[in-house]
Amino acid sequence: MHRNIILLCALLLLASCQKESPSTLHNQSELNELTPNIAYVLSTYEDAWNTTLKIIQYDFLFPIEVQNKEQGFFSTEIIKDLDENPPRKFRVSGDLSSNDKETMIKLYKSEQILYTDGKWHTRLSDLALENQIVRKIQSDLQKK
């Protein structure tokens, strides 16, 4: 897990220093492996924004609580999964940004689990849900 975080930080640092977009630095499968919560799509910002919110709301059934299209930020309501053992709650937030060539979609899952002490404790995401969502977004946008 720590290795993935270090690789993610290194890639983001490298990408911020480059004039080219990150997806032109590596092939897409390498990016997907290094940054499973980030999608780079050859799409307009408008299409990426609309597709992202549609997929989160209608494919994953997560209601959107906050959205600001101009700033490229959204967040779902807190989703409670009390049937899990231990019970958990989470929300998915995202940032979208675009240049002339592509749009970057970055998702984050904030998760808490209920321990036997009766308190909610924050847990790092395994990035599986974020990965599932960004792959669906990429797939839908490639069809356009």
Three-state secondary-structure class, residue 60 = coil
What's this model's pTM, rounded to 2 decimal places?
0.77
- What pLDDT score does 50 carry? 98
- Confidence at 133, pLDDT banded by 50, 70, 90: very high
* Amino acid, res. 74: F
Cβ atoms within 10 Å of 133's Cβ, excluding its own: 23
Q: What is the CATH number of domain 36-142?
A: 3.30.530.50
- What pLDDT score does 4 carry? 46
* Residue 55 in tokens: 């997929």
Residues 36 and 93 sit within 8 Å (Cβ to Cβ): no
* Amino acid, res. 111: E
63-116 pLDDT per residue, tens = 999 999 999 999 999 999 988 899 999 999 999 999 978 999 999 999 999 999
- What pLDDT score does 84 carry? 85
Distance, in Å, from the CA atom of 9 to the CA atom of 64, rounded to the nearest integer, reads 28
